[in-house]
A and B are shown apart, each in its own frame.
Chain A
């Protein structure tokens, strides 16, 4: 039997002092109920990426010296024809409606475009104050596109849509307010909707609002539904409502405690940590089933159900403790990634797993105790028939070297895929498939150049005047470099204004800029005039490799012009195209390290490095095989999948630990081969049942409105199946090989 480091004593204590344990459960649950009431959700996605890198420093500087571009919502109006009096006047009214809303600070649209009419008349709207004929509208829009090329990013070429950038007030879009704000803005838009006109909102605030809605919906409905489905499957297997309850209770309790703990500690659940409830279901349901099946098995020999339960806790408790330790270690390994989001995921996840272990070790014995007092005793069911599944695995042991070779080849292929697979971080992957925000983002990416700008920040020489030819040339050189990579009309800068003034023989000056409200100038120049922005309309939804190619081209174009030291490229697309993939790479490296760490823990628990090493390939296989499948299907990794692999590893280890534990129990009285076969016969029904029940239960997560959650559950299910196969076909072969010298 494995060394559980005494963790199983918790279960024995609960069984010996059931009233005290019940009170402790009730008190913990009462506190959790209070915490659940206070639970908050967060749509934050930049803090999650924060890793102390130069990219984040540049981005922070951009936001502090210019403005917080993450407050920009993009309003998309789709209509039959903007180039008509009706069309453009409706859009004008929509502009005013948003402009005058209390939650809005400023607007950027075709109606805020200005042309310079000379020193006497100054700046004037580029578009007329009113239109009389459709032809006048058409000509005005064409003239606007010609005079101010950047205006082409504000209405579509065929006039069937127009966008405006709405800069929302900071306090209107904090996590607690963003949903209400977006709802309010949607309502404003609805006043203009007809059969032919639709108004939708995209951009960061809308994405954050949708993220929060989706996270809340998944945690509130889907996670408990998954537990209930697992419980129903357990009922089908055990044909007993009490057995079903005993198996499902610790999972439900763990989720409840987890959510309550998050609420009490003020930890808002974000799009990363919202996968933790599923992880808890998987780990806890599996361990509870192992414990229950062992209890059931022991009850066949032992008349006293409570004694059998005590024995089951002694035998299975250490394995449950080790699997919690290895999963906790895997999660804690994320804390060393140097990344905020992963640190939180690792820490919160490890605490959740610890809580889950308590839920199993206290929840299961306590409920089983009360059930036994009311006359319940687990009875043998058709789970025995499942032992037959182990037969092919036992037969294959004859060709164990071939089986091992096959495993190693597959592992090699998987590791190749691990190194080759592309990654992508798209926020819209975390929005529902039916999300209007996601659809609008897709439309804007396709029709315009995206909602998420990329910025070239140009350092000005402060020793010179703003309009000094040297400073001016630096800005124009930057624009030339941008033009090498991005189409004309997809960017704007202070140069647009300077060009307008030059038409009338004037020059841009600091005084002239100061006369314009900061809400507008903050899009072009820093407050102390030492930096100028070239804003490039871009998308945050490209694959990492596509974005990296664009950024490399832009950097090359800047370097070619000697601007490497004076211009920095930043913006959310840099974070999603460079920082997020690096985060995923770190996550995968952490995972491989976690495999090593877990093997070490297993070695210590088993008291044998050979037995620990025997678990290496069977535990690597589920991870790298899933990566191989994704690679072959052309599906890039995203954060959810990468995190799912961590979950997957937890599952793989869980099954291995139980198999190894049983093997070590058998090994006391039998030689290696017989002990392995005995372990296969004993444990296969349990791990097959857990795989079946958890896969069935997790199928419900595939119906999540979040594509990322659906992919996540598909990855977990795939891993469950592969982990099961690896544990019954691969692990026994390794055990015989690695432990044979002991014979």
Chain B
């Protein structure tokens, strides 16, 4: 159960970041314009390297707020759990640099802001934070891969608190509703 919560926290991060990849190869206003709308996510994820795969589904509804910011709302569900994705993504001064904050409802992680860098059609995010339950520093890596205008994949990997090694959490595929 505990592991599920941690897992869901990481997955929610991925889900929130996901729309960025779709538009990452464009200028900021176009990115946020393309990100607006409703999205469905679907995939398999697991909580630990030896853990069992779990089904995950996400729903998002995004609204641009000015030229360099977009507000996100929605939820992800894993097994019996639902997690809010509410938050925002903001483009920083440099067009390839982003800041986001949408973890406040996810009590598992103390750190609420993270940043990412765009590279072509992919954006790689990484963050380090203290896991509230395990009390350990964890690192997560998220790769957003824009496949086309209406779909993208989110690949998530994170630190296994036990071994300290990064393992592949899973992939969520998003499609526009």
Chain A residue contacts of B53, Cβ below 8 A: 128-130
Question: Nearest CB to that of A124 among chain B residues?
Answer: B52
Given contacts A100-B57, A130-B55, contact A120 B50 (CB under 8 A): yes
Number of A-B contacts defined by CB within 8 Å: 73
A99 with B2: in contact, given A92-B55, A125-B54 (CB under 8 Å)? Answer: no
Residues of B within 8 A of A108 (CB): 80
Instruction: Establish whether residues B51 and A517, one from each chain, have CB atoms under 8 Å apart when the complex forms.
Output: no
Q: Within the assembled complex, what's the spacing in Å between the Cα atoms of A516 and B55?
A: 19
- Cα of A106 to Cα of B162 in the assembled complex, Å: 31
Task: Choose one: B5, B47, B82; the contact of A515 (CB below 8 Å).
Answer: B5
A525 CB to closest chain B CB (Å) equals: 14
A121, B75: Cβ atoms under 8 Å? no
Give bound CA distance, A117 to B50, whole Å. Answer: 11
The CA of A125 and the CA of B80, in the complex, are separated in Å by 9
Interface string of B92-132 (1 = CB under 8 A from A): 00000000000000000000000000000000000000000
Give the Cβ gap from A499 to chain B, nearest Cβ, in Å. 15
Whether B3 is near chain A, meaning CB under 8 Å from some CB there, is yes
Question: Once the chains bind, are A515 and B133 in contact (CB under 8 Å)?
Answer: yes
Q: Which among B1, B44, B79, B80 has the greatest number of chain A C-beta atoms within 10 A? A: B80
Known: A122-B1, A129-B44, A129-B52. A114 touches B59 (CB 8 A): no
- Contact present for A121 and B55 (CB under 8 Å): no
By a CB distance below 8 angstroms, the chain B residues around A125 are 52, 54-55, 79
Q: Tell me, yes or no, whether A111 is within 8 Å of chain B by CB.
A: yes
A93 neighbours in B (Cβ, 8 Å) = 57
Q: Could you tell me the distance between the alpha carbons of A97 and B174 in the complex, rounded to whole angstroms?
A: 15
Within the assembled complex, what's the spacing in Å between the Cα atoms of A512 and B1? 9
Question: Of residues 65 to 111 in A, which have CB atoms within 8 Å of B's CB atoms?
Answer: 92-93, 96, 99-100, 106-108, 111
Q: Nearest chain-A residue to B75 (Cβ)?
A: A100
Interface residues of chain B: helix, strand, loop or mixed (majority): mixed
* CB of B48 closer than 8 Å to a CB of A: yes
For A96, what are the chain B residues with a Cβ–Cβ distance below 8 Å?
Answer: 55, 57, 77
CB-nearest residue of chain B to A89: B55
A372 at the interface (CB under 8 A from B): no
Please, how many angstroms separate the alpha-carbon atoms of A283 and B3 in the complex? 68
Name the distance in Å between A162's Cβ and chain B's nearest Cβ.
16
CA of A512 to CA of B55, assembled, Å:
23
On whether the beta carbons of B79 and A121 are closer than 8 Å, the reply is: no
Chain A residues within 8 Å of chain B by Cβ, number: 26
Is A114 a contact of B79 with CB atoms below 8 Å?
A: yes
- A residues less than 8 Å from B48 (CB atoms): 120-121
B4 within 8 A of A: yes
Q: Chain A 123-147 against B: per-residue CB contact (8 Å), 1 yes, 0 no?
A: 1110011100000000000000000
Cα A331 to Cα B108 with chains together (Å): 59
**Nearest-neighbor residue (CB-CB) of A512 within chain B:** B1
Whole-angstrom CA separation of A241 from B58 in the bound complex: 66
Task: Contact check, B82 vs A106: say whether CB atoms are below 8 A apart.
Answer: yes
Residues in B whose Cβ lies below 8 Å from that of A123: 1-4
- Asked whether, in the complex, the Cβ of B80 is within 8 Å of the Cβ of A122, the reply is no
Within 8 A of A (CB), among B24-47: 44, 47
CA distance in complex: A515, B6 (Å): 11
Q: How close is A107's CB to chain B, nearest CB, in angstroms?
A: 7
Residue in A93, A125, A130 whose Cβ sees the most chain B Cβ within 10 Å? A125
User: Which single residue of chain B is at the shortest CB-CB distance from A98?
Assistant: B77
Q: Are B82 and A124 in contact (CB-based, < 8 A)?
A: no
Instruction: Enumerate chain B residues within 8 angstroms of A124, measured Cβ to Cβ.
Output: 51-52, 54
Report how far A99 CA is from B8 CA in the complex, Å: 15
Q: Do A517 and B81 touch (CB < 8 A)?
A: yes
Distance (whole angstroms) from the CB of B6 to the closest CB of chain A: 10
Residue numbers in A under 8 Å from B55 (CB-CB): 92, 96, 111, 125, 129-130
Contact, CB under 8 Å: A515 / B54: no
Q: Which residues of chain A come closer than 8 Å to B74, judged between CB atoms?
A: 100
Q: Is A405 engaged at the interface, CB distance under 8 Å to the other chain?
A: no
What bracket does the count of chain B residues touching chain A fall in?
A: 20 to 34
Structural contact, B80 and A111, CB atoms closer than 8 A: yes
Which of B51, B58, B76, B133 contacts A121 (CB under 8 A)? Answer: B51
A114 touches B50 (CB 8 A): no
Q: Distance in Å from the Cβ of B84 to the closest Cβ of chain A?
A: 11
- Do the beta carbons of B1 and A100 come within 8 Å of each other? no
Assess the B2–A100 pair: CB atoms within 8 A: no
Would you call A122 and B47 a contact (CB within 8 A)?
yes
- Shortest beta-carbon distance, A97 to chain B, in Å? 8
**Distance between A192 CB and nearest chain B CB, rounded to angstroms:** 14
Question: Which residues of B from 144 to 177 have beta carbons under 8 Å from A?
Answer: 162
* List of B residues within 8 angstroms of A112 by Cβ: 79-80
Q: A30 within 8 Å of B by Cβ?
A: no
Q: Does A520 contact B (CB under 8 A)?
A: yes
Query: Could you tell me the distance in whole angstroms from the C-beta of A677 to the nearest C-beta in chain B?
Result: 79
Question: In the complex the two chains form, what is the Cα distance from A729 to B22 in whole Å?
Answer: 88
Residue of B at shortest CB range from A96?
A: B57
Say whether B79 contacts A516, CB under 8 Å: no
Q: Are B82 and A111 in contact (CB under 8 A)?
A: no
* Cβ contacts B58-85/A at 8 Å (1 or 0 each): 1100000000000000111101111000
Q: Which residues of A contact B1 (CB under 8 A)?
A: 114, 122-123, 512, 515-516
Instruction: Give the complex CA separation of A692 and B29 in angstroms.
Output: 77
Within 8 A of B (CB), among A488-542: 512, 515-517, 520
B54 surroundings in chain A (CB, below 8 A): 124-125, 129
Residue of B nearest to A104 (CB): B82
Complex CA gap A96/B58 in Å reads 9
Q: A100-B57, A129-B53 are in contact. Are A107 and B80 (CB under 8 A)?
A: yes
B2 lies within 8 A of A130 (CB)? no
Q: For the complex, what is the distance from the CA of A96 to the CA of B54, rounded to whole Å?
A: 13
Task: Note all chain B residues with C-beta closer than 8 A to A122.
Answer: 1-4, 47
Bound-state Cα–Cα, A108 to B82, Å: 12
**In the complex, which residue of chain B has the Cβ closest to the Cβ of A517?**
B81
CB-defined contacts of A129 to chain B, threshold 8 Å: 44, 52-55
**B132–chain A nearest beta-carbon distance, Å:** 11
Q: Smallest distance from the beta carbon of A559 to chain B beta carbons, Å?
A: 36
User: Complex Cα distance A100/B78, Å?
Assistant: 10
- Bound CA span A124–B47, Å: 9
Chain A residues, Cβ within 8 Å of B162: 120
| Nearest CB of chain A from residue B137's CB, rounded to whole Å | 20
Q: Which residues of B contact A516 (CB under 8 A)?
A: 1
Complex Cα distance, B75 from A708, in Å, reads 42
B2, B48, B55, B162: residue with the most chain A Cβ atoms closer than 10 Å: B55
Q: From residue B121, how far is it (CB to closest CB) to chain A in Å?
A: 28
Query: Closest approach, in angstroms, between the C-beta of A548 and any C-beta of chain B?
Result: 35
The chain B residue with its CB closest to the CB of A99 is B77
CB pair A100 B59 closer than 8 Å: yes
Closest to A92 in B: B55
Name A125's closest neighbour in chain B (CB-CB).
Answer: B79
Q: In the docked arrangement, what's the CA distance between A515 and B1, Å? A: 7
Cβ of B51: which chain A residues have Cβ within 8 Å of it? 121, 124
Separation of A336 and B113 alpha carbons in the complex (Å): 63
Chain A residues contacting B50 (CB-CB under 8 Å) are 120-121
B82 touches A100 (CB 8 A): yes
Residues A111 and B2 in contact in the complex (CB < 8 Å), given A96-B57, A124-B52, A125-B54: no
CB-defined contacts of A520 to chain B, threshold 8 Å: 80
Q: How far, in whole Å, are A516 and B52 apart by their CA atoms in the complex?
A: 19
Q: Which of B1, B51, B57, B58 has the most CB of A within 10 A?
A: B1
Query: 9 closest Cβ contacts across the A-B interface?
Result: A112-B80, A96-B57, A123-B1, A129-B53, A99-B77, A122-B3, A129-B55, A124-B52, A100-B59
Between A and B, 26 residue pairs with Cβ closer than 8 Å are A96-B57, A96-B77, A99-B77, A99-B82, A100-B76, A100-B77, A100-B82, A106-B80, A106-B82, A107-B80, A111-B80, A112-B79, A114-B80, A117-B52, A120-B48, A120-B50, A121-B3, A121-B52, A123-B3, A124-B52, A128-B52, A129-B44, A129-B55, A130-B55, A515-B2, A516-B1
Given A129-B44, A130-B44, 14 more A-B residue pairs with CB atoms under 8 Å apart are A99-B82, A100-B57, A106-B82, A114-B79, A120-B162, A121-B52, A122-B47, A123-B4, A124-B51, A124-B54, A125-B54, A129-B55, A515-B1, A517-B81
